[in-house]
Structure 1
Amino acid sequence: MSDFDSKARRARLRLTLVGVAAAAVLTAGGVLGVMVLNADDDLKQNPPKAAPSAPPSSGSSKPSVVEEFTPATAPSIPRLKPKSSTEGIGTGFEHSALGATSAAISYWEDLDLLDDVIARKQWTAIAATDSPGTIDKGVTEVRKVREGVGLPPSGATPDGITFSTNVKAALVRSLETSGDVVDVWMVFDRYATIRDKGADDNPLKDEVTNLILKWDGTDWKVTTERRYAARVKYPRTYDPDSKYAWAEGWRAVANG
Structure 2
Amino acid sequence: MADFDTKARKARLRLALAGAVAVAALVGGGVLALSLLDSDDSAGQPDAKTPSSAAPSTSQSSTAAPSQVFTPAEAPRVPILKPRTNAEGIGTGFPPTALGATSAAVTYWEDLDLLDDVIARKQWTAIAAKDSPATIDQGVTEVRKVREGVGLPPSGGNPDGLTFATSVKAALVRSLDKSGDVIDVWMVYDRYATIRDKGADENPLRDEVTNLILKWDGTDWKVTTEAQYTAKVKGPRAYDPASKYAWAEGWRVVSDG
TM-score scaled by structure 2?
0.80
Q: What's the offset of the Cα at 1:32?
A: 3.2
Conserved? CA contact 2:176–2:229, under 8 Å: yes
Q: In the comparison of the two structures, how many residue pairs are matched?
A: 217
CA contact (8 A) 2:188 2:210 kept: yes
Higher helix share: 1
1:255 CA displacement: 4.4
Indicate the residue corresponding to 2:2 in structure 1. 22
RMSD of aligned alpha carbons = 1.9
1:253 is paired with a residue whose SS is: strand
User: Are the equivalent residues in 2 in contact too, given 1:71–1:242 (CA < 8 A)?
Assistant: yes
Alignment of 1:97-176 (within 5 A): 97-176=98-177
Pairwise CA distance, 1:68? 2.2
The CA deviation string for residues 11-51 of structure 1, in whole angstroms up to 9 with x for no partner, is xxxxxxxxxx61244414224322232338x46x99xxxxx
Using the alignment, how far apart are the partners of 2:176 and 2:130 within structure 1? 19
1:204 aligns with 2:184: no
Structure 1: runs of 5 or more not aligned: 1-20, 47-63
Q: Offset of 1:241 from its aligned partner?
A: 0.7
Q: Which residue of 2 aligns with 1:37?
A: 21
3-state SS of paired residue (1:39) = coil
Separation (CA, whole Å) in 2 of partners of 1:227 and 1:134: 14
SS at structure 2 position matched to 1:93: coil
Give the counterpart letter for 1:169 in structure 2. A
CA contact (8 A) 2:13 2:205 kept: no
Q: State the one-letter code of the partner of 1:30.
A: L
CA distance in 2, matches of 1:113, 1:105: 15
1:163 CA drift (Å): 1.0
Contact conserved, 2:81 with 2:256, CA < 8 A, in 1?
no
Give 3-state SS (helix, strand or coil) of 2:139's partner: helix
Residue type at the aligned position of 2:20: V
Q: Equivalents in 2 of 1:159, 1:183: separation in Å?
A: 35
Shift of 1:234: 0.7
Alignment of 1:218 onto 2:219: yes
Say if 1:24 and 1:206 are closer, same or farther in 2 by CA, change over 3 A. Answer: closer
CA distance in 2, matches of 1:36, 1:123: 13
Equivalent position SS for 1:72:
coil
Alignment match, 2:60: none
* Identity fraction in percent: 71
Matched, 1:89 2:71: no
Give the residue type in structure 1 aligned to 2:8.
T
Q: Which runs of 5+ in 2 are unaligned?
A: 29-64
Give the equivalent residue in structure 2 for 1:18.
none
Once residues 115 and 126 of structure 1 are traced to their aligned partners in structure 2, the CA distance between those partners, rounded to angstroms, is 17
Answer whether contact 1:66 1:246 (CA < 8 A) is retained: no
Is contact 1:32–1:203 with CA below 8 Å preserved after alignment?
no
Following TM superposition, the consecutive aligned residue runs of length 4 or more in structure 1 with deviations greater than 2 angstroms are 28-32, 64-68
Give the Cα separation in 1 of the matches to 2:4 and 2:114: 18
